[in-house]
Each structure stands twice: as structure tokens, then as C-alpha cells.
Amino acid sequence: GAVVSQHPSRVICKSGTSVKIECRSLDFQATTMFWYRQFPKQSLMLMATSNEGSKATYEQGVEKDKFLINHASLTLSTLTVTSAHPEDSSFYICSASANGGSSYNEQFFGPGTRLTVL
């Protein structure tokens, strides 16, 4: 299967700082990338969808200015949590899809990034 990587896998930061998380598709071109957030023992909640070269589409309730998403190339998307606060602590997971790669446009998930804001 297709491989998606995330970096870093774990990050601890102080309140008020910004954190950037990278999501890379290693062996395919991802025309669409998705960013999810997962709280302990809860399901994945879609935050935003981004298409290469376009502005991200955010889900209702997700602050665009707080969660900056950039999808500058077909293999890289970044999520920047700006002015992070303890309530932003969560597990962030990206997924990537190669539109047209399968009949149902399978999403391949990264291993996730654990963010802890002190």
C-alpha cells in the first residue's frame, strides 16, 4: 500500500508557541490531503481538506487562523498550530488520496503526531 509519513511523531511545546507538522506521501502523488484530530478514546474528526495548490477547506468550527494548512506540492502538506494552548493538545493525523487512484479514492493515513502543549 501507499505510504504516508508524518513528522514529528511527538512534540511538546510551551503555550503560545507555534508548531508545524509535516505530512508526506512517500510513493505517490497526493492530490488531496486531509487533516484529522483525535482525542483519547474518541474518533477521528476531520479538520480540513486541502488540494494541491489551493486553499484548504475547513470544517465547521475549525479556526482557519489557528490551524494553518499549506499543500504546496503533490507530496507535502503542513499543518501549523499557531499560538498553541493546552486545549490544542491532541493526536493529529493526516491522510492522503491520489484522486483517480482507485474507484473509491482511498485515503492512506499517516502514523499521527502527538502534540502536548504545556
Partner 1 sequence: QKEVEQDPGPLSVPEGAIVSLNCTYSNSAFQYFMWYRQYSRKGPELLMYTYSSGNKEDGRFTAQVDKSSKYISLFIRDSQPSDSATYLCAMKTDSWGKLQFGAGTQVVVTP
Closest CA relative to residue 81, chosen from 94, 56, 63: 63
Identity of residue 118: L
- Please tell me whether residue 34 binds partner 1 under the rule CB under 8 A: yes
Quote the least distance from Cβ 108 to partner 1, whole Å.
8
Count of chain residues binding partner 1 (CB under 8 A): 26
Spacing of C-alpha 118 from chain mean position: 21
H/E stretch holding 33: strand 32-38
Quote the least distance from Cβ 74 to partner 1, whole Å.
17
Closest CA relative to residue 52, chosen from 27, 34, 26: 34
- Please tell me whether residue 42 binds partner 1 under the rule CB under 8 A: yes
- Please tell me whether residue 43 binds partner 1 under the rule CB under 8 A: yes
By three-state DSSP, how is residue 113 classified?
strand
- Please tell me whether residue 109 binds partner 1 under the rule CB under 8 A: yes
Stretch that binds partner 1, among 12-20, 43-51, 62-70, 73-81 (CB under 8 A): 43-51
108: left (phi over 0), alpha (psi -120 to 50) or beta: beta
- Please tell me whether residue 99 binds partner 1 under the rule CB under 8 A: yes
- Please tell me whether residue 107 binds partner 1 under the rule CB under 8 A: yes
Contacts with partner 1, residue ranges (CB under 8 A): 1, 4, 6, 34, 41-46, 49, 91, 93, 95, 99, 103-112, 114
